[in-house]
Amino acid sequence: MGRAFVYVILGGGVAAGYAAQEFVKRGVSHGELCIISGEPVAPYERPALSKGFLLPEDPARLPSFHCCVGSNEERLTPKWYKEHGIELILGTRVKSVDMRRKTLLTVTGETISYKILIVATGARALKLEEFGVTGSDAENVCYLRDLADATRLVSVMQSCMDGNAVVIGGGYIGMECAASLVINKINVTMVFPEAHCMGRLFSPRIASYYEEFYKSKGVKFIKGTVLTSFDLNSDGKVTAVSLRDGSKLPADMVVIGIGIRANTSLFEGQLTLEKGGIKVNGKMQSSNASVYAVGDVAAFPVKMFAETRRLEHVDSARKTARHAVAAIMEPEKAGEFDYLPFFYSRVFTLSWQFYGDNAGEVIHFGDFSGKTFGAYWINKGHLVGSFLEGGTKEQYEAIAKATRLKPAIEDLVELERQGLGFALTASQKPSSSSPPLVAGSSNLVIEKPLHAWYATAGVIVAASVAAFAYWYGRRRRRW
Ligand SMILES: Cc1cc2nc3c(=O)[nH]c(=O)nc-3n(C[C@H](O)[C@H](O)[C@H](O)COP(=O)(O)OP(=O)(O)OC[C@H]3O[C@@H](n4cnc5c(N)ncnc54)[C@H](O)[C@@H]3O)c2cc1C
């Protein structure tokens, strides 16, 4: 025997928090909704773990970063869930799902039944062992995915002041952790196999800017090689790391950021999977009509690229969650999800945003020796992606809107010449019934939007970015 709910959210991360808020906005009744989470705390803004949480002074701590403060909205503390009659089953992992019976079995032996299930299980950090290297369990080897990892990382950092850290991986976890380690007065060497940092997103030129900035803060880079083994002392602590290129680095601590894998294992053989996640339609509904998937675990159709994608970004987690709840509560009103991919990071005094897709040819603009620069990606004659470092609220809004419009680009030289001005102009153009914009005297053409909808969506995206940027501005020190 166990409890029964109309709606069950499996997973208690970012997507769960935003889904719960949307359920309440749409009038869910007391006792209808439950969240089951392996974590012992109510949903929180996970990005804080590699930013404000790691600061040496006045660090961010719960309850300050519970969802949905990341969108400058109300903070959903455990009290909020109680007041709204939402059951939080925390510190409890689900070990199996029976879709025929519509039940979940927890590790504590409880069976929980649902009418509608929202899968929000997110992802887990990939372990070294999955690449044939042992030693993840050493006391001073850290990963960073959840609050427990972050708490452990802080404690290891505190025992390593002025010591040496090796960061394995050049993605955003590696980059953000390296910056935090430096701020905590730890000497950092980053090791990764790619030719430059943030290899999945940055162009070599963009990467070079950040690498130079990091070097100016004392960070060393060892690229084109991987970790092969650890030296351990008699206490089981890592004292050095060996690399494939034959070098050995002394280490008082190691941080591993080598990627993530979506938590789909409970659903293998029960739901259609794609791109490493649970395949859903434009209403976030899986191959089983009673099961929805949101956040990092969902592979959903990204309309503007006519492709199914699984994104690992907080904005996507928030918006897929809200859309799923809208589709569940008001199916006749909810349209197909139409999302502009958005990702950001903040390190040291730097801050960037990226919209769209980094496919095709890259055109850089701005002052790479200064504070504000960026890039556009042009694929099949259209602007499909935009990156901006050091932008203002208006500038970020502009690149978001311009990217959403997917303007046709005929003259790359002119685009480069106009730089950020191109997005600023494009974003101010009337959305419909106006002729295509010809920028300057060039052949650079911005197609007018195909539907007025694009413009509306652009404004919505811009407005949410503005709110987010404003909130960030206020919280810059803590996040
Ligand atoms: C340190 C860090 C920094 C980040 N910074 C940024 C950033 O700057 N910008 C950005 O765009 N994105 C960032 N991200 C990514 C962003 O946080 C994720 O995209 C987002 O958290 C995904 O939300 P989610 O709800 O899908 O998954 P999660 O937030 O990971 O939540 C998943 C939840 O499911 C639970 N769960 C899983 N399996 C089970 C089970 N079997 N039973 C019970 N519970 C289960 C987990 O315990 C967890 O609570 C960052 C991520 C991390 C880890």
pLDDT tens, 362-406?
999 999 999 999 999 999 999 999 999 999 999 999 999 999 999
Domain co-membership, 184 together with 244: yes
Dist CA 459 CA 457 (whole Å) = 5
The answer to whether residues 65 and 164 belong to one domain is no
Q: Are 141 and 135 in contact (CB under 8 A)?
A: yes
- Write out pLDDT tens, residues 319-342: 999 999 999 999 999 999 999 999
Considering the domain architecture, whether residues 68 and 165 belong to the same structural domain is answered as: no
Cα angle 136, 142, 144 (rounded to 5 degrees) comes to 115
Domain annotation covers residue 365: yes
Q: Does the beta carbon of 291 sit less than 6 angstroms from any atom of ligand 1?
A: no
The total number of structural domains that make up the chain: 3
Is residue 472 scored above 90 in pLDDT? no
What is the band of 471 on the pLDDT scale with cuts at 50, 70, 90? very low
The Å distance, Cα 14 to ligand 1 centre, comes to: 6
**174 and 239 assigned to the same domain:** yes
- CB of 319 shorter than 6 A to ligand 1: no
Q: Are residues 134 and 245 in the same domain?
A: yes
Question: Is 427 near ligand 1, meaning CB less than 6 Å away?
Answer: no
| Residue 438, pLDDT score | 31
Any domain includes 335: no
Q: Is 310 in the pocket of ligand 1 (CB under 6 A)?
A: no
312: Cβ below 6 Å to ligand 1? yes
CA of residue 266 to ligand 1 center, whole Å: 17
- Residue that is last in its domain, among 233, 258, 283: 258
Residue 70 lies in a domain: yes
252-283 pLDDT per residue, tens: 999 999 999 999 999 999 999 999 999 999 99
Q: Which atom of ligand 1 is nearest to the CA of 43?
A: 49
Helix, strand and coil percent figures for the chain, each rounded to 5: 30, 25, 40
Is the CB of residue 11 below 6 angstroms from any atom belonging to ligand 1? yes
Which DSSP letter does residue 281 get? -
Q: 314 CB under 6 A from ligand 1?
A: yes
Choosing from 228, 258, 288, the residue where a domain stops is 258
Averaged pLDDT, 16-20: 98
Residues 292 and 178 in one domain: no
Q: Kindly state whether residue 189 falls inside one of the protein's structural domains.
A: yes
- CA 89 to chain centroid, in Å, comes to 25
Pair (247, 136) in one structural domain = yes
pLDDT band at residue 448 using 50, 70 and 90 as cut-offs:
very low
Q: Are residues 76 and 144 in the same domain?
A: no
Name the residue with the closest Cα to ligand 1, atom 51. 47
Residue 42: CA count within 13 A, CB half-sphere: 25
Q: Is 341 in the pocket of ligand 1 (CB under 6 A)?
A: no
CB distance 120 to ligand 1 below 6 Å = yes
Contact between 157 and 245 under an 8 Å Cβ cutoff? The reply is: no
Res. 431 pLDDT band, cuts 50 70 90? low
What pLDDT shows up at residue 32?
Answer: 98
Q: DSSP assignment of 92-141, as one string?
A: --EEEEETTTTEEEETTS-EEE-SEEEE---EEEPPGGGGT---TTSTTE
| Boundary-marking domain end, from 240, 258, 276 | 258
Residue 452 resides in a domain: no
pLDDT of amino acid 429: 72
Q: pLDDT tier at 430 (50, 70, 90 boundaries)?
A: low
pLDDT band at 72 (very low <50, low <70, confident <90, very high): very high
What is the average per-residue pLDDT within 127-145?
A: 96
Q: What domain range includes position 87?
A: 2-124+261-329
Taking the CA of residue 124 as reference, the ligand 1 atom at the shortest distance is: 30
| Distance from C-alpha of 170 to C-alpha of 191, rounded to nearest angstrom | 7
pLDDT tens, residue by residue, 453-464 = 333 333 333 444
Percentage of residues of the chain with pLDDT beyond 70: 89
Q: Say if residue 144 is in the same domain as residue 103.
A: no
Global pTM exceeds 0.75:
yes
Q: Which residue's CA is the closest to the ligand 1 atom numbered 41?
A: 94
Query: Residue 132 above 50 pLDDT?
Result: yes
Question: Mutation test of ligand 1: which of 117, 314, 315, 345 has the most ligand atoms closer than 8 Å to its C-beta?
Answer: 314
Residue 36 in contact with ligand 1 by CB distance below 6 A: yes
Q: Which of 121, 153, 344, 355 to mutate to test the pocket of ligand 1 (most atoms within 8 A of CB)?
A: 121
Residue 72 class from Cβ within 10 Å (0-12 exposed, 13-18 middle, 19+ buried)?
A: middle
For 279-324, how does the pLDDT look when each residue is reduced to its tens digit (9 = 90+)?
Answer: 999 999 999 999 999 999 999 999 999 999 999 999 999 999 999 9
Protein residue with its CA nearest to atom 23 in ligand 1 = 14
| Top-confidence residue, 428 or 91 | 91
Cα 413 to averaged position of ligand 1 atoms, centre (Å): 40
| CA distance linking residue 90 with residue 70, whole number of Å | 21
**CATH code at 99?**
3.50.50.60
The residue whose CA has the least distance to atom 2 of ligand 1 is 47
Mean pLDDT (the chain, rounded): 90
Answer whether residue 343 shows pLDDT above 50.
Answer: yes
Whether 476 shows a pLDDT value over 70: the answer reads no
Same domain for 269 and 152?
A: no
Shared domain for 113 and 146, answered yes or no, is: no
Q: Is 414 left (phi over 0), alpha (psi -120 to 50) or beta?
A: alpha
Q: What is the pLDDT of residue 1?
A: 67
| Residues 246, 133 share a domain | yes
Quote the pLDDT of residue 428.
85
Amino acid at 221: F
